[in-house]
Structure 1
Amino acid sequence: MVTIRDVSKRAGVSRSTVSRIIAGNGYVSEHARLLVEAAIAELGYRPNTMARGLRSNRSGIIGAVVVNVASPFYAQMVGGMQSACREADKSILLASGYAQAHEEQQAILELIDRSCDGLILYLENPVSEEVKEVVAQADIPIVAIGGEPTPLAWARVGIDNYTGALDGMRHLLAMGHRDIAYFAGTPSYYDTRERLRGIDTALGEVGMSRADIYLEAGDYKERFGYEAAERLLASGRKVSAIFAGDDDIGAGVLLALRHHGVKAPDEISLLGFDDNFHARHLTPSLTTIRQPTDIAGHTAARLLLDMIADRNFEPDDVVIPAELIIRESVIQYSAAKAADCPAETARA
């Protein structure tokens, strides 16, 4: 195993000089730095991060809890976090909370037990008094990212779900659609509630309300989108557009429409939310609301690292805007075209 002594010998400098360069503390000449970096690269030396953590009283690791690290949505968010950590020469430890209170709280406790210097939390549930007490004793910075606002956080990074849904529904209305279905995600989620609030505002601007549209709520999953679209088609209710709570739901809707011979967007337009990777590759490509989750993750990690470096740093909360992405799946509503090719005929 290569040691600091080996590096110092190869570079021809003292061990203390090598230590200062590795830790990034204290002055060293540029010449010495280049010699040490070359020796490290040649020998393949890896610093003992645990020993460095003991000396500095820091682990060099931040912890993050998201709903599900296996989901493409959260994977992009985690990618942003990791990018910020790499830039700061820090590591990240991840856990999934699965939107379950027990899992979220267990994840928080485990990350604290592993001596993380700070936490990024995407929670969908309130935390218990017991967990609050443990977090208070740990006295580490915490940044909330999306999800349910939590009193544990010293700062919060959110994506503007309200305005994203507002812009999405406004777009459908501007394209002439009034017979609209909305397939919402899990009603207990904060993001779901914010999107519904945006939809309410957009409908109110044209003298409509939720009572004037077809509304169904379920999981943020393709299966729910498929089954909800099946129920809508079976009901015989006329719709010209479906607003899916996220792109996974939208993919399920598109599959159900195809199975029933309903052409999108010719007969039913479709709008998604998130701009997941598959949205642009669907046929038709999905008009959707982009959530820049990678930017949110990077911003949250950067805020946390700044707080770890300076405990007096008091960041403001950050709200990142969502963006309407126009593709192929939403078209202008034409009453004449709808009369010539009604969806009811296609379903028969």
Structure 2
Amino acid sequence: MQEKKIKAGIVGGTGYTGVELLRLLSRHPNVEVCAITSRKDAGTKVTAMYPSLRGFMDDLVFTTPEEAELTACDVVFFATPHGVAMSMARELTAAGVKIIDLAADFRLRDTDTFKTWYKLDHACPDLLEESVYGQPETMREKMKNARILGMAGCYPTSIELGLLPLMEYEKAHPGTFDLKTIIADSKSGISGSGKKADVSIITAEMSDNFHAYGLKGHRHTPEIEQQLKLLAGTDDLKLTFVPHLLPTIRGIHSTIYIRLKDATTQIDLQKLYEDRFADEYFVDVMPAGSTPETRSVRGSNFLRLAVHRPGNGDLIIVLAVEDNLVKGAAGQSVQAMNILFGLDEKTGLDAPALVP
């Protein structure tokens, strides 16, 4: 007897994370995508916009949210700008629909902080309070029974997982690390900027070019600090986060710097990382001395890490790479859906990276 499939809807399916969700869900054995929305492209077949999905999503057509019958779904993914998910959350949750938001509506716990960074009043603070931050390796148990998941951002995923073993060590051994001088130097492919007409990201501007942005403050900073404080068990933490744009399509590379308060402290960092992630299928701790490459995760849900302590001094350097559209967005969201519905987390995601 065939097992009943999970009925999934996608709001905002025309962007890069939307089509990545479609790609991953198209080969998920337990999911049927029954609705996908786009006001601008309503009436257009998905395969007309994305021929890459021919043979997989031939009958799926973009509709308006009003026509999509989203309340009949088991789960709805929001691959939309900020503010959309929270405007629809109350109706969907009342109908028993699970929400997985890939934007920021349910990431930040504090509504004032949310308004400061996103210039929006939160539409449903009560639902925000019950929602769970969607990062499987750090929030798995709380995610299992959630109605709403606010998925971790792309940069935050690489930095939070990169520092996870050290933050947990700090919680068990307070005062080990200088938590006020953490630096995350992160680079992302252009797809992280979204699918839009913008002169700054056209080929002639980005090819053979590389630059930082967001130096006055990036929206991911409060999100990362929020989660690191939770993991370390202290509010006495400060992050300097500097993002950069690479002339590539996919990939994030984060180089993270954190100092020991006492340079004589001895920690087997390689063992610490290997032990912490031993049971985490999608986190690969590479051999000592490694320098992970973005192409090693392209198109996959894996995040690869390496930890270094140059000269056995007080500085620890963590390198983390992921595909920003997969582990940094759509893939991690499918992993989260698997958790919500009691499936093996690897389902629909167990595939190696694309090389070259």
* Fold in common (TM above 0.5): no
> Larger % of helix: which?
1
Which protein is richer in strand relative to its size? 2
Q: Which structure has the larger Rg over C-alpha atoms?
A: 1
TM-score normalised to structure 2 length: 0.33
